[in-house]
C-alpha cells in the first residue's frame, strides 16, 4: 500500500497520472519493454462508467513478461 497525499483523480486528470506512471515504468524497465496495464477499482469505474466522478487512488497491475520481478503492482496516490 502506498500513502503520500490525498489527490482527487477525475476523468479530466486521470490521463495525466497514467502517463506519469508510464514514464516511470519506462525509466525503470527501459523504453523497449512492452507491458500491459490493468486498472481496477475506482479508476476503472471512472473510465468505463459514468456514475462516479472521482477516486482517491489508482490501483493497477502491470504485466510485463521481461520485467516481472520489479513491477507487479503500482499505487498512485
Do the beta carbons of residue 56 and residue 9 sit within 8 Å? yes
Which pLDDT score is estimated for 28?
Answer: 82
Q: Which pLDDT belongs to residue 3?
A: 54
pTM (two decimals) = 0.72
Question: How far is the CA of 60 from the CAs of 1, 18, 35, 63, in angstroms?
Answer: 12, 10, 12, 10
Does the structure show a pLDDT above 60 at 2?
Answer: no
In DSSP notation, 11-50 reads: TTTHHHHHHHHHHHHHHHH-TT---EEEEETHHHHHHH-S
Domain locations along the chain: 9-76
CA-nearest of 16, 20, 4 to 56 is 4
- pLDDT 10s digits, 21-65: 888 888 888 888 888 888 999 999 999 997 889 999 888 888 876
Residue 70 has pLDDT above 60, yes or no: no
Q: Which of 5-9, 14-18, 37-41 has the lowest mean pLDDT?
A: 5-9
Amino acid at each position: 500500500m502506498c500513502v503520500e497525499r490525498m489527490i482527487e483523480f477525475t476523468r479530466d486528470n486521470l490521463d495525466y497520472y497514467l502517463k506519469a506512471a508510464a514514464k516511470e515504468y519506462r525509466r525503470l524497465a527501459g523504453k523497449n519493454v512492452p507491458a500491459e496495464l490493468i486498472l481496477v477499482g475506482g479508476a476503472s469505474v471512472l473510465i468505463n462508467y459514468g456514475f462516479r466522478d472521482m477516486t482517491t487512488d489508482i490501483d493497477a497491475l502491470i504485466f510485463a513478461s521481461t520485467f516481472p520481478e520489479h513491477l507487479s503492482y503500482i499505487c498512485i496516490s
